[in-house]
Amino acid sequence: MKVGNLFRCFVSICCLACSHAAEKTISAGPGNDSLKFEIQRAIDKGLASLEKAQNGEGWWSTADHPALTGLALVAFQGDPAKKARPQTLTKGYEYLLGCEHEDGIYGKRELINYNTSVALMALAAAKDSKYDNYMRQARRVLIKLQYDADEKGVADNPFDGGIGYGSSSPKPDLVNTLHALEALYYSRKTVSDTGSSEADLNWEAAIKFIQNCQHLSNYNKQPWVSEDPQNKGGFVYAPDSSKAGEVQLEGGRNALRAYGSISYAGMLSYIYAGLKPEDPRVKAVLEWAKHNYTLHENPGMGAQGLFFYFHTMTKALSTAQVDVLETADGKRHNWREELTLRLLDLQKPDGSWVNENGRWWEKDPMLTTAYSVISLEMLYRAI
């Protein structure tokens, strides 16, 4: 397993039948032109389906949640072919800026962190200084959303340092924290270039929140932490809950169950917060990934959140430059090529992707297509 510079890559979000594609073998290493042609064709079809689905007012899926439009815009900006789509992008960004408020970027006043974070990612992906003031304001909003239970500035509560959906739902969770940390990380240039002394996130507190969601007893002393291979190093949704429920251990003790998409979300969150590959907390997530590697389901969740799992896996392992995952049975997996073939196999004839399981909005082809295209764009650049 090769782990190098953490920050090389840029992004950016009924059970599906198991695919034989992930079991095929193809030549490893750079220069696989045939596969790259296939990936670009899949990206072209995916972006064409998104372009066709754009609303006349510039948004995708719903005007209430600009995060969905933000994900689509990130997908368009990452196209390796760099095809010009001025009308699509102009309309999309005009809609996005029309959703700006003093307390966030949103349509309906809900999910403020999620919508603001993903919108900020889209603005950062444009690499255009005309958006800098909007980005700085969005950063201020996200930083103010960081949770501090007693407002003492000390991370003395398991939830301190995390970020939730927003002021009406402040209780932090790891998914919302990931979105905020990712947006703040990729937009930091708007502050560093100006020499501004603006307030920053309490990154140390954020790291403490992240580790309070991880199965690692040296860092997390909560009673649900487990050292068994199914859980050790993996993550749960929040310091008090897992979307995968609980698992009973030997001796009758219950542990919150780690699961796939949230474990890669935890790994990414550590990366954005500045932890190095040799940090025990990062190494532990990679060990969890070895013990739980699969492309047939979101481990611990089945088909639920499958495309978000693929999306976070691609970002986390790419950003950490993990080339090969060696599983407990000794098999070495070129995960990039295996995941590429899985995504190619799941693409619909119209160019979209969709999950037959509707958990976390994944029956919406706009969401799952954006997830898949962004993943393929990152895979294209590494194959």
Q: What is the 3-state secondary structure (H, E, C) of the chain?
A: CCCCCCCCCCCCCCCCCCCCHHHCCCCCCCCCHHHHHHHHHHHHHHHHHHHHHCCCCCCCCCCCCHHHHHHHHHHHHCCCCCCCCHHHHHHHHHHHHHCEECCEECCCCCCHHHHHHHHHHHHHHHCCHHHHHHHHHHHHHHHHCECCCCCCCCCCCCCCCCECCECCECCCEHHHHHHHHHHHHHCCHHHHCCCCCCCCCCHHHHHHHHHCCECCCCCCCCCCCCCCCCCCCCECCECCECCCCEEECCCCCEEECCCHHHHHHHHHHHHHCCCCCCCHHHHHHHHHHHHCCCCCCECCCECCCHHHHHHHHHHHHHHCCCCCEECCCCCEECHHHHHHHHHHHHCCCCCCCCCCCCHHHCCCHHHHHHHHHHHHHHHHHHC
Question: Given this model, what pLDDT does residue 194 score?
Answer: 64
Query: How far is C-alpha 199 from the chain's CA centre?
Result: 25
What's the rounded Cα separation, in Å, for the pair 256 and 114?
Answer: 25
Compute the chain's Rg from CA coordinates: 20
Question: Given this model, what pLDDT does residue 23 score?
Answer: 35
- Burial, 317: exposed, middle or buried (Cβ in 10 Å; 0-12, 13-18, 19+)? buried
Candidates 3.40.1190.20, 3.30.1360.30, 3.40.50.300, 1.50.10.20; CATH matching 21-382:
1.50.10.20
Length of the chain: 383
The CA-to-CA distance between both ends of the chain, in Å, stands at 16
Amino acid at 280: P
The pTM for the full model equals 0.91
The structure tokens listed for 348 are 């619909």
Q: C-alpha angle with apex 118: 342 to 200, nearest 5 degrees?
A: 125
Amino acid at 352: S
Per-residue pLDDT of the chain (383 residues; tens, 9 = 90+): 333 343 334 333 333 233 333 333 344 445 689 999 999 999 999 999 999 999 999 999 999 999 999 999 999 999 999 999 999 999 999 999 999 999 999 999 999 999 999 999 999 999 999 999 999 999 999 999 999 999 888 889 999 999 999 978 899 999 999 999 999 999 998 877 666 678 899 999 999 999 999 999 999 999 999 998 889 999 999 999 999 999 888 778 899 999 999 999 999 999 999 999 899 999 999 999 999 999 999 999 999 999 999 999 999 999 988 999 999 899 999 999 999 999 999 999 999 999 999 999 999 999 999 999 999 999 999 98
φ/ψ (deg, to 5) at 67: -60, -35
The structure tokens listed for 127 are 């690499």
The position carrying tokens 């560093």 is 192
Question: Given this model, what pLDDT does residue 31 score?
Answer: 61
Domain boundaries, the chain: 21-382
